[in-house]
Amino acid sequence: MNKPFYLLIFAFIFIISLSHAQTVRPFTEGLVVGPCHQYGREAIYTDQITYQLIKKTFVTPTEGKSVLTDAQGKELKWQSIMADTSRRFRHSALSNGYLYLTYTSPKETMALLHLAGHAGAYFNGVPRGGDANHYGYMYSPVKLKKGLNEVLVRVGNGGRFQGVSANLVFPDKNILLSTPDMTLPNIVLSENNEQLLGAIVLLNLTEKPLADLRIRAVIQGKEIITEVPMVTALNSRKVGFKMDAGAVQQKGEVSCELSLLQNGKVIDQKSIPLQAVLPNDHYSNTFISAIDGSVQYFGVAPQKGVKTDTASLFLSVHGAGVEAIGQAKAYKPKEWGTLVAPTNRRPRGFNWEDWGRIDALEVLEVAQKKFNPHPQKIYLTGHSMGGHGSWYLGATYPGKWAGVAPCAGYPTLMGYGSADGKIPENSTNVIEKMLLRASNPSNVMALAPNYKASGIYVLHGDADRTVSVEYARTMRNTLGAFHNDFSYYEYPNGSHWYGDHSVDWPALFDFFKWHRSKKSDEAEAIDFTTANPAISAQYLWAGIEQQEIPLNYSRIQAKRNTNNKSIIITTDNARTMMLLPGAFSKGQAFTVKIDEAEVCTACIMEDKPLYFTKNGKWTMAEKPAVTQRGSHRNGTFKAAFNHRMVFVYGTTGTKEENEWAYNKARYDAETWYYRGNGAVDVIPDREFSLTGYADRGVILFGNATTNAAWNSLLRQSPIQVQRGSIKVGEEQLTGDDLGIYFTYPRPDSPFASVAVVAGSGLPGMLATESNQYFTGGSGFPDYFIFGAAMLKDGVKGVKQAGFFDTNWQISKTDAVKAQ
């Protein structure tokens, strides 16, 4: 962790406020119990309190009342607790425990639940999002009942140390803008600043969706009005807006006046500060993410001096708790290139995996268009968690990087302990092994041969007590077995962060200066490994389009002989492979041998790839249909959360089922906002149509009985869920307490998918509520079915898990059942 920036973030957090007339009611006493739950970076979790809520055996807590007996036979009882002088609750039982709070309201009214230091909460039985990192900007609109209101606060492993703060906030308005968590650009003088993008949180403390809202932004007389997307009932949403800063001519602080308009009437106003900077200053730049349509930013250390068409681009990925602009400011401007620092969607984000990985690629694409670097002079580096990000992105995308330089990094989440899961790597349980397989893209050790595509520079302090130097030494030994172009340096007496030269190390950038990435005509040999072609499918002129066994490692090794015009290939776990333009010149004939069999004696390279499919033996083939698995769409469950995803909740069930669907969709939207600085459309099933939301990822909450969008999206799915049963191929599971997560391709899209969060009845639906699929690196296969008993018994409560076959049907060889 980059400590100076980490501390700056938290200093900022502690002084923020809603900037409104408000009454704050802090919670000062409560009850605690724990440990009683275990969540991690995996689909399996246990939570004894939630299990009791599902089974309706939960009893209103009182001091000394027994809750459960743990696996060691110890009886856990509720204990009283008081907030300390910093207004935080701290207790040993809060390590994987629960905090119980109450508030007696004299009337029915609206409020903001403001908790920090928690993983999640139930407010009067309804799930609300967490603030595990104690950032302080999570405000959940809630409706207070007249009389007793109950809050069950779930606290993670670190709760006993950082504590939990808890308040009810009563603002003077029911619709308001909230300033603590804004995403804003800098005004870079001399650039076109007439269409700048920002984002601010809008809070809806009403029981109706907010529509037809607009935000008016005025900077020095220049006005832009932006339409605001819908914000559902008792919910918040980070909304984007445009600004025209074209009139700004001087460096310094600039005020932007924001007005929230409803039917032309101003219902809230905020004055927000922007910074105007010179072109050679470090600055923040914003853009629209294709993941969800939200506004994101990245930091820039601009190139010093005259820019040329041979300039370089450096992508620097930050450590845990570090802001992207702080990462960029750790680097002095370079005369030979521009440095950009993506956010990972948040300072902690997704460990540069999953959506953090996509964020890095989005920023890379934006930066390439903006700064136009030489295509062979793009470099990757990062520190701490960003050191892991460098190892991970470097192994996942060979050919993108001329050089890769991890600083104080660890190679894998599981090896470092960031996995937070309880599945051992050598597990023999078939369910656990299936979940580990779903996490294979995270394992850079299996992808290590891909490092041969780049020069590698490893930098680590030899006295680092946060990320041990042994991780760097392990990677030195790994690289030493096959890599002929890497450098290694241990900084003497270097701690985890020993100043800006922990990242801005001259020898590291000298190393980059020597290196260029190869062009296709310069690489006579290809060695490429992937665990998922939809994440990474190719290196230069060869790639893997389809796998035989989904999410197992696939490898292609190819040698090109330009003298006798031939390519010899060996493969592992490849169903369809491809040769891309650049393998040979256009119009050139050549022979292809795959796995010792001659496949083509006169292949002709044109402007599109050549495909070869193994069906007993290798043959030339057409590009596989988009209806099959492939590099365009290959699962897993989490992959559907992309392509401007939309959450669709069911309204055709019982009152309780419909309430669950909306509450779960809102909970996931809150969690996505917190973890990913995200914003997502949340709509009822009756408003969904294929054409109205074309090519967008769809997250469907409910089953065929309770969600009217099911038939248009999932009529052909081999998994069918309805009230009372789940059908998997020809097999039917019955009961009302079955929960399921699964994905299936949108039938009308060549790339978007549907993710389903459902249950066979209300108990099964409730069992799906708190899973950790927004945690970076967590492994979810194509489908995962479990009983509510999983929350009590762990893996014993899992029914089935697996991957679909190439045609998205149930595969007997890639499905496992409980032992």
Please state, in angstroms and rounded to a whole number, the distance separating the CA atoms of residues 526 and 555: 10
Q: Give the contacts of 796 (CB within 8 A, at least 6 positions apart).
A: 789, 790, 818
* pLDDT, tens digit (0-9, with 9 covering 90-100), for 547-560: 999 999 999 999 99
| CA proximity to 799, closest of 715, 737, 716 | 737
- Give me the pLDDT at residue 162, please: 86
- Return the residue matching tokens 């002989």: 561
Q: What tokens appear for 169 in the block? A: 């906030």
| CA proximity to 256, closest of 229, 276, 227 | 276
- Give me the pLDDT at residue 426, please: 82
Lowest mean pLDDT segment, chosen from 13-27, 139-153, 774-788: 13-27
- Give me the pLDDT at residue 615, please: 92
DSSP letter for 755, please.
E
Please state, in angstroms and rounded to a whole number, the distance separating the CA atoms of residues 102 and 29: 9
How does the average pLDDT of the chain come out, rounded?
95
- Give me the pLDDT at residue 18, please: 56
Q: What tokens appear for 406 in the block? A: 């991890």
* pLDDT, tens digit (0-9, with 9 covering 90-100), for 278-318: 999 999 999 999 999 999 999 999 999 888 888 999 999 99
Whether 344 contacts 389, CB under 8 Å: yes
- Return the residue matching tokens 């809008």: 202
- The residues that bridge with 341 in the sheet, in sequence order, are 299
* pLDDT, tens digit (0-9, with 9 covering 90-100), for 482-535: 999 999 999 999 999 999 999 999 999 999 999 999 999 999 999 999 999 999
Residue 714 main-chain phi, psi, to 5 deg? -130, 20
Q: Give the contacts of 314 (CB within 8 A, at least 6 positions apart).
A: 331, 334, 337, 338, 339, 340, 378, 379, 380, 381, 512
Please state, in angstroms and rounded to a whole number, the distance separating the CA atoms of residues 32 and 48: 14
- The residues that bridge with 460 in the sheet, in sequence order, are 490
Please state, in angstroms and rounded to a whole number, the distance separating the CA atoms of residues 486 and 253: 45
Tell me the DSSP string of 605-660.
--SS-EEEEEESEEEEEPPPPTTS-BTTB---GGGGS-SS-EEEE--SS-HHHHHH
Q: Give the contacts of 723 (CB within 8 A, at least 6 positions apart).
A: 653, 703, 705, 706, 736, 760, 761
Whether 196 contacts 245, CB under 8 Å: yes
| CA proximity to 292, closest of 673, 649, 749, 757 | 673
- Give me the pLDDT at residue 419, please: 47
Q: What tokens appear for 360 in the block? A: 């890095």
- Give the 3-state secondary structure of residue 797: helix
The distance of Cα 238 from the centroid of its chain, to the nearest Å, equals 17
Question: Torsion over CA of 441, 341, 676 and 421, rounded to 10 degrees?
Answer: 40
- Give the 3-state secondary structure of residue 289: coil
User: What is the H or E stretch that residue 50 is in?
Assistant: helix 48-55
| CA proximity to 756, closest of 748, 745, 263 | 745
Q: Give the contacts of 231 (CB within 8 A, at least 6 positions apart).
A: 202, 204, 209, 210, 213, 237, 239
The β-bridge relationship of strands 681-684 and 646-649 is: parallel
Q: Give the contacts of 588 (CB within 8 A, at least 6 positions apart).
A: 565, 604, 605
Which stretches of 106-195 are assigned E, i.e. beta strand? 109-116, 120-123, 126-128, 139-144, 147-155, 165-171, 175-183, 187-188
Whether 276 contacts 250, CB under 8 Å: yes
Whether 155 contacts 94, CB under 8 Å: yes
- Give me the pLDDT at residue 81, please: 97
Tell me the DSSP string of 356-406.
HHHHHHHHHHHHHHHH---TT-EEEEEETHHHHHHHHHHHHSTTS-SEEEE
* pLDDT, tens digit (0-9, with 9 covering 90-100), for 374-392: 999 999 999 999 999 999 9
Whether 316 contacts 340, CB under 8 Å: yes
* pLDDT, tens digit (0-9, with 9 covering 90-100), for 597-613: 999 999 999 999 999 99
Amino acid symbol at 53? L
Three-state SS annotation for 522-538: HCCEEEEEECCCCCCCE
233: left (phi over 0), alpha (psi -120 to 50) or beta: beta
Please state the rounded mean pLDDT for residues 84-90. Answer: 95
- Give me the pLDDT at residue 309, please: 82
Please state the rounded mean pLDDT for residues 59-85. Answer: 93
- Return the residue matching tokens 């890769």: 404
Residue 193 to residues 254, 285, 298, Cα–Cα distance (Å)? 13, 11, 16
Residue 562 to residues 443, 474, 521, 538, 779, Cα–Cα distance (Å)? 35, 37, 10, 21, 42
* pLDDT, tens digit (0-9, with 9 covering 90-100), for 636-667: 999 999 999 999 999 999 999 999 999 999 99
Tell which wins on pLDDT, 147 or 38. Answer: 147
Whether 815 contacts 797, CB under 8 Å: no
Residue 325 main-chain phi, psi, to 5 deg? -70, -35
Whether 665 contacts 647, CB under 8 Å: yes
Please state, in angstroms and rounded to a whole number, the distance separating the CA atoms of residues 173 and 268: 8
The β-bridge relationship of strands 525-530 and 486-491 is: unpaired
Q: Give the contacts of 120 (CB within 8 A, at least 6 positions apart).
A: 127, 128, 129, 130, 154, 667, 671, 770
pTM of the model: 0.96
Q: How confident is the model at residue 414 (pLDDT cuts 50, 70, 90)?
A: confident
Q: What tokens appear for 254 in the block? A: 């600039």
| CA proximity to 498, closest of 457, 469, 474 | 469
Residue 19 has pLDDT above 80, yes or no: no
Please state, in angstroms and rounded to a whole number, the distance separating the CA atoms of residues 725 and 703: 10
User: What is the H or E stretch that residue 506 is in?
Assistant: helix 506-514
Please state, in angstroms and rounded to a whole number, the distance separating the CA atoms of residues 295 and 10: 22
Residue 501 main-chain phi, psi, to 5 deg? -75, 0
* pLDDT, tens digit (0-9, with 9 covering 90-100), for 701-715: 999 999 999 999 999
Q: How many helices (H) and strands (E) does the chain have?
A: 14, 51
Spatial strand order of the sheet with 719-722 comes to 719-722, 725-728, 731-734
* pLDDT, tens digit (0-9, with 9 covering 90-100), for 149-173: 999 999 988 777 789 999 999 999 9
Whether 302 contacts 279, CB under 8 Å: yes
- Give me the pLDDT at residue 704, please: 98
